[in-house]
Amino acid sequence: MSSLNPELVRGSLDLMILSVLSDGAQYGYLIQQKLKAASGEMIELKAGTMYPILHRLESNKLVRCRWDESTGRRRKWYELTVAGKKHLKKRVGEWQAYVQCLQRILGPLVDPSPQPA
Amino acid sequence: MSSLNPELVRGSLDLMILSVLSDGAQYGYLIQQKLKAASGEMIELKAGTMYPILHRLESNKLVRCRWDESTGRRRKWYELTVAGKKHLKKRVGEWQAYVQCLQRILGPLVDPSPQPA
DNA sequence: CGCCAATAGATTGCCAGTCTATGTATTGCG
DNA sequence: CGCAATACATAGACTGGCAATCTATTGGCG
């Protein structure tokens, strides 16, 4: 699924999708492309992974969607709801707390020079 | 299991255990205590979660273990093997790559002031 | 014109892995 | 003496991603 450790990526798939959606409405295939680009080709979200997540987000009222059947190629546009935007903010906070916590646990194991020259 | 988002924590449980073990040999219960302390009480690793992981690490030859039955309270000491130390280093690198990647995806959503005053 | 690749959405079934619950036994304190 | 803490372990339930598969459209190439 990605050149990154899949176990790690697993826990933040919906965070990533939510994040991509924060740019505005997108349809599934677009989300895959954007995520791939935004991650520097590191993340390649498979359809069988993404759609269940999108459906889950929808049933949780975090995203809303609309079919566009105006062209032969039908597209389903997904968009963050107000609750979704709030949820995203919360999830970002959780992620930062997690990163800081793990950073602390790893302690001296992590190279303390993350800033690029 | 923790006050952190469990979904996120999930992917790094073995990383955390490996990290605690990098301090030297530990037995299961000690690992729980150390992890709890190192995480600022954020992570409370349950026995039913930890032991399967330890057994998996053992069968993967990443940790080696020895029973101490000298006291009535028997303890099983776990220690990193050479392969385990190498593996830990690799996993730390993967984790850093993951963090940077996600940081990039989240982009402007992350508060760009992580350093404490 | 026919075919294939890319685009676009979705589902099914499998499997890995964590969590809850439970079980056993020891030690020390009140 | 009983209970809480220490100490290890497993069984079964449940969640969730992934591979595989399906349908259909569009556009380009031979």
Does A115 fall in a domain?
Answer: no
pLDDT of residue B3: 78
Residue located via tokens 């740019």 = A23
Q: Does A16 touch chain B (CB under 8 A)?
A: yes
Report yes or no: A27 at the B interface, CB cutoff 8 Å.
no
What percent of chain A stands above pLDDT 90? 78
Residue B113 lies in a domain: no
d(CA B21, CA B27): 9
How far apart CA B65 and CA B80 sit, in angstroms, is: 9
pLDDT band with cut points at 50, 70 and 90 for residue B2:
low
Whether A110 sits inside 8 A of B92 (CB atoms) is yes
Domain count, chain B: 1
Q: In three state form, how does the secondary structure of B25-70 look?
A: CEEHHHHHHHHHHHCCCCECCCHHHHHHHHHHHHHCCCEEEEEECC
Give the model's confidence band at B16: pLDDT under 50 very low, under 70 low, under 90 confident, else very high. Answer: very high
Q: Which whole number is the average pLDDT over A8-31?
A: 94
The whole domain housing A42 covers: 6-107
Whether A35 is covered by a domain: the verdict is yes
Cβ-contact B114, A103 below 8 angstroms: no
For residue A58, tell me if it sits in a domain.
yes
- Residue B69 has a pLDDT of 80
The answer to the question of residue A113 being in a domain is no
Q: Between A30 and A71, where is the model more confident?
A: A30
pLDDT score at A112: 58
A110 vs B8: CA distance, rounded Å: 19
3-state secondary structure of B117: coil
Does an H or E element contain B75, and which? strand B75-80
Average pLDDT over residues B7-12: 94
Give the pLDDT of residue A117: 38
pLDDT at A2 (0 to 100) = 65
**Strand partners of residue B43:** B2
Q: Indicate yes or no: CB of B43 within 8 angstroms of CB of A16.
A: no
Rounded to an integer, what distance in angstroms lies between the CA atom of residue A78 and that of residue A57?
10
**Residue A41: inside a domain, yes or no?**
yes
Mean pLDDT rounded to a whole number for chain B? 90
Give mean pLDDT, residues A103-112: 84
Q: Looking at beta carbons, which residues of chain A come within 8 Å of B57?
A: none
Q: Is A22 on the interface with B (CB under 8 A)?
A: yes
Q: How many CB atoms sit inside 10 A of residue A11's CB? A: 18
Residue B87 domain-assigned?
yes
B110 vs A81, higher pLDDT: A81
**B78: domain CATH number?**
1.10.10.10
Which residues are CB-neighbours of B26 under 8 A, at least 6 positions away?
A: B20, B34, B77, B78, B79
- Lookup: nucleotide whose C1' is closest to A26 CA: C8
Confidence band of B25 (pLDDT split at 50, 70, 90): very high
Show Cβ contacts of residue A2 under 8 Å, excluding neighbours closer than 6 positions.
A9, A39, A42, A43, A44
Q: Could you tell me if residue B1 is inside a domain? A: no
